[in-house]
Chain A
Amino acid sequence: MSNKFSRRDFLKLAGVGAATTAILTGCGPASRYVKREPYMLMPEYTYNGQSTYYATTCRECAAGCGLIVRTSQGRAIKTEGNANNPLNLGKTCARGQATLQGLYNPDRVTDPAKAGASITWDAATQAVVDALKNHKPDEIAFLMGTTSDHLFDLVTDLAAATGINAPVRFGALSMFESRATLSTAAENLFGQRGLPFFDVGGAQVVFSFGANFLETWLSPVSYTRGFAGLREAQTKMRGTFVQFESRMSATGGKADEWMPIRPGTEAMVVLAIGKLVAEKRGGTMPHAFIEVDPANVAAKSGIKLETLEQLAEKFASSAGALAIPGGAALGQSNGLTVAEAVLALNALVDNFGKPGGVYFSALAPNQTEYQRAASVQEMQGFIQKMAEGKFKVLFIHGVNPVFELPASLGFKEALSGVGQVISFATFPDETAQEADYVLPDHHSLESWGYQRVVTGSAQPVLSGSQPVVSPFYNTRATADVLIAAAQLAGGKFAQALPFTDEVEFLQSKVAPLMNSADGFFSAADINTFMAYFQQYGGWWKTLDGRAVPVAANLLNHSLSGAEAEFAGEGEFFFVPFVSPTLAEAGANKPWLQELPDPTTTVMWNTWVEINPETAHELGLEDDDVVKIISEAGELEVPVYRYPAIRPDTIAMPFGQGHTAYSRYADNRGVNPADLLGQYFNEAGDLAFAGMKVKIEKTGKKQPLSRMESIMGVYGVGLGEEH
C-alpha cells in the first residue's frame, strides 16, 4: 500500500468531519470532536441522505479489528470492518456488529456519581486529585481491562514517574485463553517470550487440541480467515482439520474428525502422536517423546491405537502440518505441559517460520516486548493485597472483575479492604456497584485511543480509534480525567502527564511513528500524520513483522505424560467455555442475546450440556433444571441434551449470570465462574477445566428458547425427534 491516496479514497475513508478540517487547516482541539447535531442545525458537511464514514477500532475484545462506522446526521447507524486494516481486512464478528447496541443501550451510566448520587465533573476530578495526593504512591493501584491500550500506556507512564503501582490488566477472555500458558510455553521451548501465531491458512493438516479459534480465541476474525484458507480447494488441496476435545465446540463442529478424548489426557495424546510422528520421520527422537507408551495412551484417552497411528501418519506425511493448543486443554493442572508438547510437535515437523506453521506474533509498532494480561494466579496475589489493606485507592477501568473472576477468589469481599474504589465503568456493572465513585468513561465509539494488535496479523498494526459520535451522556474520557487530575495535583503528577488533553497525549505516543520509513504512510508534521491516522484507522508497517521461533531446547526438554489432576469429588468433568456470541461483555446487547448459540441454538439464557445417554440414565429431559455442585459453589441451570459431548463430561457457557449489566443482561442465566475453585496450571493460569462436579435433580423445569425447535413444519422440531 502506498502513502499516496486518491481523492476518492480520501472521501471514502476520511470521515469528512474532523479529519478533513485537520488536514486542511491543522486546527486545534476544537476541530477534534465530532458533533451530533439536531436536524435543524446540520453541520455543513452533511447532506440529507448522505452518510459520513469514520474509521475506528472495535473494543468488544482485545483483538483490535478496524471498523468503519457509518453515521448519518451525527448518529452512528452501522459498523463494518475496515478493509484497509491488515488484521481483519474489512470483516467483523457478530460482537463487532453489535457494538452500537452498547452505545445506544438505555442503561448506561449517564453522570459521574458518588455512592449512587450524581456529582459534578469538578467534584469527580477533585476526588481523583485527593486520591492521588493524599496517599503514598504504593497505596494507589490501577486495575484495567485488556482494551484501550492508550489508556494503559498513560497509566503506565504515570506510575513510572510517580512510583504508584504499575497498572494490572485482566479480562475473562484472556483467562479462558490461558495467555500466560502460551507465552510461558514459548519461553521454555524457544528461550524467547512472545505469543505464538499459528498460520492455519497456509496449513494442509491442522490438529487443534481444544483451541476454539473460530469463536473467541485470541483473534477470531483473523483465525476464521485462516480457516477459510485451510479449506480453500480451488488452488490447492483442501486442508484437513482434526479437533481433540471432550465437548464439541463450534470450532470442533467444523472439524473433519472430532476426537472426544478423556479430559486430562491431552498431554499424553500429544506426546503419543509426537512419538509416532518422530518414528515415522526418523532422526533423533526428542527427549520429550521417549517415555510415552502409545498403547497405554490409547487405553487412557479413549482413542484406539490404530486411530492414533493413522493420525500420526497423516500429520507426519503432510507437507503443511500444524498443531494448535488452546481452550480446556490448557485450563487444566498440566496445561503448560500440553502447550509445550504441542509446540514440540510443531518443532518435530519443522514448520517454524513457514507458511502453515508457527511464528511469533508481530509486535505492535509502539511495543518493544510482549506484554500480557495478568494470569488468575497473579490476580490472586493482587486480591490478597487488596484484602490486607495494602491499597488505599483502587482505580478500575474496562474490566468487571466481580463478574469475570471466579467468585471463590473473593474479589468482591476484598474490595472492602480497599479504602476507596473509583470505577470508570460505562455500565452500572457488578464492580461499579461496589465502587465509591463511578466516573463514567465514554463508550468506545465516542472515544479516542489506539489498540495494539497482539496477534493475528503478519504486519505490525496499531489500530486507531476516534469518536464517531459526540458523547451521548455526561461522560468524560478517563484519560482526560486523569490528565486534569494530575495537573491539579501538581508536582510529579503534573510532570508525569504534561498534556492539555487526551488527544495531545495520543499525538505524543504516535509521533515517533511519523517519519518511520517502513510504515504504509508517513507525514512531515503531526497534524497531517494524525489526519491520516484517523482516516485509515491506524498505522501499520508494510512488511511481515513476525519472528521465527527456534526450538532451542527441543531435543533435551523433557515433558511428563501424566494425567491432569482434577479437584472435587463429583463424577463429571466440568468444562466451562466462553459463549461464542456473548463472550465476556456481550450480555448487555439485546441482539447478541437473540443470536442463537452456534452449537445449541439457545438464545437469551444459560444451559448445561449433558450427553443424551447420561441424561437418560439420570432421568433428565431437556429443560429440566439441575443443581450443579462443585467444591467452590453450586448453581441451578436447565439441561440441554447435547449429542456431541462425552458421557462423563458436562459443559456450560460463560457470558450470562449478571446481576447488574443493563436490563438485557440482569438476572438472566447463571455464571459458571461461580463453580470454579482456586486451581492453577504450572504457568499460573486458572485450571478452569480442572474440576469435577456433581449433578442433583431439582424437579423444576425452565424452558430454554431455542431456534432449532421451529425448524421443520408447524413446530415439529428436529430437536424433539432426537
Chain B
Amino acid sequence: MIRPEEIKMSAEETGKWGMVIDQDICTGCQACVAACAMENNISFVGEVDAGYGRSMHWIRIERFWEGAYPEVKMTPNQPMLCQQCGHATCEPVCPAFATVHSQAEQLNLQVYNRCVGTRYCANNCPYQVRAFNWRDYQRPEPLSNQLNPDVTVRRMGVMEKCTFCIQRIHKAQDKAKSEGREVVDGEFTTACAQACPANAIVFGRVDDPESLVSQVARAHGHGVKHLEELGTLPNVTYFKGG
C-alpha cells in the first residue's frame, strides 16, 4: 500500500481543484442539492426508490443528533459529496477503468461509457457518495427540455457521482485558452457553491495560495478532512465550527 506521504505530484499535475465547506454557516437549506441536480441532469427516482436509498443525489446534507431531549442538539450540517480523493479507494477496484484519476484536474473521473455497473467503486467508497442508476428513470416530456447539453445523460446500469462540475472547469479553461490567458480565480464556480445562500461552499484552485479557497482555508486555520486516516487525500476541507 502507498502511504499518503509517498504520493508526489508530477510536474504536469497543475490545477488542483478543491473545496472548503463551512459547516458553521451551512443552514441545510438544500439549495446546493437542488442546484446540483439541475446542473448535472440528475434523475429523480420517485418515492419508492428513494425509500430504498436509490436517490441519485450527488451531494447530500447530513445531520446527526447528539444527546436526548431537552439537551438534544443537531450537529452542524455536513454537506457530503465526492471528496475527489488524491488517492481514491474507488479507483483501483474498477475492472473497466471507468473510474480513473485525471492528471490534469486531479479529480476522480467517472467515464460513463466504460462503466459496466459492477458497483465495486460504490462499495469501496468510504464516503458513500456514489449513486447507481438502478433503472432508466423517466423524464416525461417536456421535462427533458431542461437537460443541460454540457452534461451526459446517464442510463440504467451506470454509476455516477459528483464531478466538481467538470463541464464548467473545461468551459472556463477553453474560454481562457481562446483568449490567451489563464483561468482567473472566481471566473466560474460549481453549481452548489454558486447557489449557496450562506456562501458556506467555496470552490477553486487549492494549489494557488492566492485563490479565495486557499485564503478561506488559511483564515480559518482549523480545517478537517473526512476519514483522512484512511489515506484518501480528500480535496474537500471542512470547518466544523460551533
Contacts and interface: CB of A to CB of B under 8 A. Distances in A.
A142 interface: no
A92 B196 CA distance: 7
Which one of B37, B48, B68 has the greatest number of beta carbons of chain A within 10 Å? Answer: B37
A221 interface: yes
Contact of A225 (B45, B191, B198): B198
Given A77-B145, A238-B24, A253-B74, 15 more contacts: A76-B145, A78-B39, A81-B194, A214-B27, A227-B25, A231-B24, A234-B220, A260-B70, A592-B34, A595-B33, A596-B30, A596-B60, A598-B30, A613-B69, A707-B55
Contact of A224 (B27, B51, B53, B220): B27
A81 B189 CA distance: 13
Contacts of B65: 643-644, 722
Contact of B31 (A77, A94, A260, A705): A94
Interface in A378-419: none
Interface string A79-102: 111000000101111111110110
A29 interface: no
A591 B30 CA distance: 11
B39 A94 contact: no
Given A594-B45, A643-B72, A644-B72, A91 B149 contact: no
B53 A591 contact: no
Interface string B53-78: 10101001111110011101110010
A250 B145 contact: no
B178 to A, nearest CB: 12
24 contacts: A49-B149, A91-B197, A96-B31, A97-B35, A98-B34, A103-B146, A214-B29, A228-B198, A228-B199, A231-B25, A253-B74, A254-B74, A256-B242, A258-B72, A581-B30, A595-B33, A596-B60, A643-B72, A705-B50, A707-B50, A707-B55, A710-B53, A711-B62, A711-B128
Interface string A216-229: 00001100110110
B143 A106 contact: yes
A260 B146 contact: no
Interface in B67-108: 68-70, 72-74, 77
Given A104-B142, A225-B197, A710-B53, A93 B63 contact: no
Interface in A636-660: 643-647
Contacts of A81: 194-195
A663 B139 CA distance: 12
Interface residues of B, number: 59
Contact of B34 (A97, A228, A601): A97
Interface of A: 49, 72, 75-81, 88, 90-98, 100-101, 103-106, 214-215, 220-221, 224-225, 227-228, 231-234, 238, 248, 250-251, 253-254, 256, 258, 260, 472, 580-581, 590-596, 598-599, 601, 603-605, 611-613, 643-647, 663, 668, 703-707, 709-711, 713, 715, 718, 722
Nearest to B68: A643
A254 B142 CA distance: 39
Contacts of A595: 30, 33-34
A592 B50 CA distance: 13
A251 B100 CA distance: 40
B73 A258 contact: yes
B147 interface: yes
A263 to B, nearest CB: 14
Contacts of B53: 707, 709-710, 715
B4 interface: no
Interface string B129-169: 00000000000111111111100000000000000000000
Nearest to A216: B29
Most buried by A among B194, B219, B241: B194
A647 B68 CA distance: 12
Nearest to B76: A254
A76 B47 contact: no
B143 A220 contact: no
A78 B24 CA distance: 28
Contacts of B148: 77-78
Contacts of B149: 49, 72, 77
Contacts of A704: 51
Given A97-B35, A104-B142, A234-B220, A594 B50 contact: yes
A551 to B, nearest CB: 31
Q: 10 nearest interchain CB pairs?
A: A705-B51, A710-B53, A253-B74, A604-B47, A94-B34, A97-B34, A598-B28, A224-B197, A228-B198, A91-B197
A41 to B, nearest CB: 17
Nearest to A704: B51
B38 interface: yes
Given A77-B146, A91-B197, A228 B69 contact: no
Nearest to B241: A231
A298 to B, nearest CB: 14
Contacts of A224: 27, 29, 197-198
B46 interface: yes
B112 interface: no
Contacts of B60: 596, 707
A254 B35 contact: no
B30 A77 contact: no
A405 B141 CA distance: 32
A78 B28 contact: no
A215 B28 CA distance: 9
A643 B69 contact: yes
A92 B33 contact: no
A228 B140 CA distance: 39
Nearest to A106: B140
Given A228-B200, A234-B220, A706 B51 contact: yes
A671 B142 CA distance: 28
A106 B146 CA distance: 12
B197 A220 contact: yes
B47 A705 contact: yes
Contacts of A250: 27-29
A93 B50 contact: no
A260 B174 CA distance: 54
B50 A604 contact: yes
A228 B38 contact: no
A643 B71 CA distance: 10
A106 B142 contact: yes
A93 B146 contact: no
Interface in B214-242: 219-220, 241-242
Contacts of A49: 149
A81 to B, nearest CB: 7
Contacts of B147: 77
Contacts of A91: 31, 195-197, 199
B31 to A, nearest CB: 5
Contacts of A596: 30, 33, 60-61
Contacts of A709: 53
A208 to B, nearest CB: 13
Nearest to A90: B194
A260 B69 contact: yes
Nearest to B65: A643
Contacts of A663: 140
A572 to B, nearest CB: 15
B61 A92 contact: no
Contacts of B64: 718
Contacts of B48: 705
Nearest to B64: A718
A248 B69 CA distance: 11
A643 B25 CA distance: 22
B142 to A, nearest CB: 5
A594 B72 contact: no
B115 to A, nearest CB: 21
Nearest to B150: A49
B50 A92 contact: no
Contacts of A92: 31, 35, 195, 197
A70 to B, nearest CB: 9
Contacts of B25: 227-228, 231-232
